């Protein structure tokens, strides 16, 4: 049978490996932290090695039939190296855009798609100038490697002093940052698309995302937004995937403004937490779509067979698993992580409801 190479060893890799197994594929995980990882636990093989271990990367590439990834911050040089020996999707062009918030927003704006107003910043003085230009309420973010709201600071120049801007700058601990205008959104939505090497594309319906402490808390599928808003969100996600010539799965996070238009927040070229509901409520889930896309198989059906609500189990939330498991209305998914550290994604639950329109 064929083997998929997976870069990254977290829960997204785990659930992709499980979907791959169902289609008859083995998975070989490669990551510096692969040992006893969520993905390695369910994979046929795991390589624990650094992203710049060129010899280990070559052996890995030669042992698999196609490589994909569950973490968009895999160094581009790593992917370029692997590409000498096997196919890797999504490709380095996609990663270069998705790894850097400035590149990402430039790319999206270049397609004529709206984002919050933004400025690149390399110093506290740049931040002050950006705030003066954009408006008093801003979000300062490191351009690279942030997730779950880490590497971000809120700024309200109407009430904060110059010291507060300096404090925000010092708190993100990098000299490559972006200042974004704060969007007073009606809600947040995301759209996940899958695209094959032949350009075929499918999109799951727009879903609504609620965050708690900067971390995704609940996803409601489908999003409770106007049909025009949902259609616009889908159009935006498809346009981005096409412009990137994506092969794989792409999630696009968006803000819905009070007038019902959408602004892109960020994207992730991989299965996404806001797509976990598809595991129990769609004909083919996002993980299966990734396997299909990178293995050159036809894409699956995105038909929604039920409405759904996904709730993340963060840290100690997961201790409630016996109760959740005993509830027949709950589909429980646990990631095999031994330690329930605060803020750590331990699992999720899906609740299904009769399908609406």
Per CB under 6 A, residues contacting ligand ATP are: 116, 139, 146-150, 180, 182-183, 188, 211, 214, 253, 265-266
User: Is the dihedral angle over the CA atoms 99, 101, 106, 107 positive or is it negative?
Assistant: positive
* Minimum CB distance to ligand ATP smaller for 47 or for 278: 278
Q: What is the closest distance, in whole angstroms, from the C-beta atom of residue 290 to ligand ATP in the complex?
A: 18
Would you state the torsion angle of the CA atoms of residues 265, 269, 275, 280, taken in this order, to the nearest 10 degrees?
170
Letters for 246-285 (x = contact with Mg ion by CB under 5 A, - = none) are -------x------------x-------------------
Task: For the chain, give percent helix, strand, coil, nearest 5.
Answer: 30, 30, 40
Q: Which of ligand ATP, Mg ion, none does residue 180 bind (CB under 5 to 8 Å by kind)?
A: ligand ATP
Q: Which of ligand ATP, Mg ion, none does residue 61 bind (CB under 5 to 8 Å by kind)?
A: none
* Minimum CB distance to ligand ATP smaller for 147 or for 353: 147
Q: What is the closest distance, in whole angstroms, from the C-beta atom of residue 150 to ligand ATP in the complex?
A: 6
148 is in an annotated binding site: yes
Distance CA 300, CA 293 (A): 9
188 is in an annotated binding site: yes
What does 301-328 look like in DSSP terms, one character per residue? ---B-SEEEEEEEEGGGGGGHHHHHH-T
Q: How many CB atoms lie within 10 A of CB 193?
A: 26
315 is in an annotated binding site: no
At residue 47, φ and ψ (nearest 5 deg) are -110, 120
The number of residues in the chain equals: 357
Q: What is the closest distance, in whole angstroms, from the C-beta atom of residue 274 to ligand ATP in the complex?
A: 8
* Minimum CB distance to ligand ATP smaller for 47 or for 115: 115
HSE (side-chain half, CA atoms, 13 Å) at 109:
11
99 is in an annotated binding site: no
- Consecutive H or E run containing 345: strand 345-353
Name the residues that contact Mg ion, by CB under 5 A. Answer: 253, 266
Binding residues for ATP: 101, 141, 146-152, 180-183, 188, 211, 265-266
Annotated binding site: 101, 141, 146-152, 180-183, 188, 211, 265-266
């Amino acid at each position: 049978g064929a083997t998929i190479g997976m870069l990254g060893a977290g829960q997204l890799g785990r659930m992709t490996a499980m979907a791959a197994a169902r289609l008859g594929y083995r998975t070989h995980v490669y990551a510096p932290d692969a040992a006893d990882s969520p993905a390695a636990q369910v994979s046929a093989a795991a390589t624990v090695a650094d992203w710049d271990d060129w010899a280990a990367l070559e052996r890995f590439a030669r042992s698999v039939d196609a490589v994909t990834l569950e973490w968009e911050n895999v160094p581009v040089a790593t992917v370029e190296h692997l590409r000498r020996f096997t196919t890797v999707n999504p490709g380095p062009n996609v990663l270069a855009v998705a790894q850097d918030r400035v590149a990402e927003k430039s790319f999206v704006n270049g397609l004529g798609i709206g984002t919050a107003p933004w400025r690149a910043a390399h110093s506290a003085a740049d931040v002050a100038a950006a705030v003066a230009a954009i408006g008093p309420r801003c979000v300062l973010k490191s351009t690279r490697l942030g997730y779950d709201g880490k590497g971000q600071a809120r700024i309200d120049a109407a009430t904060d002093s110059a010291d507060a801007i300096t404090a925000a700058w010092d708190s993100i601990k990098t000299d490559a940052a972006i200042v974004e205008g704060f969007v007073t959104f009606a809600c947040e939505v995301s759209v996940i698309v899958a695209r094959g090497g032949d350009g075929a594309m499918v999109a799951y319906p727009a879903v609504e995302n609620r965050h708690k402490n900067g971390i995704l808390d609940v996803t409601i599928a489908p999003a409770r937004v106007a049909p025009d808003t949902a259609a616009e969100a889908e159009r935006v996600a498809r346009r981005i995937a096409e412009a990137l010539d994506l092969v794989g799965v792409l999630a696009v996070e968006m803000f819905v403004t009070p007038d019902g238009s959408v602004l892109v927040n960020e994207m992730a070229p991989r299965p996404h937490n806001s797509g976990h509901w598809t595991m129990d409520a769609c004909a083919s889930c996002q993980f299966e779509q990734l396997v299909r896309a990178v293995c050159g198989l036809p894409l699956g059906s995105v038909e929604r067979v039920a409405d759904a609500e996904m709730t993340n189990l963060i840290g100690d939330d997961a201790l409630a698993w016996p109760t959740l498991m005993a509830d027949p209305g709950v589909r429980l998914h646990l990631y095999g992580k031994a330690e329930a550290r605060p803020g750590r994604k331990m699992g999720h639950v899906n609740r299904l409801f009769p399908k609406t329109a």
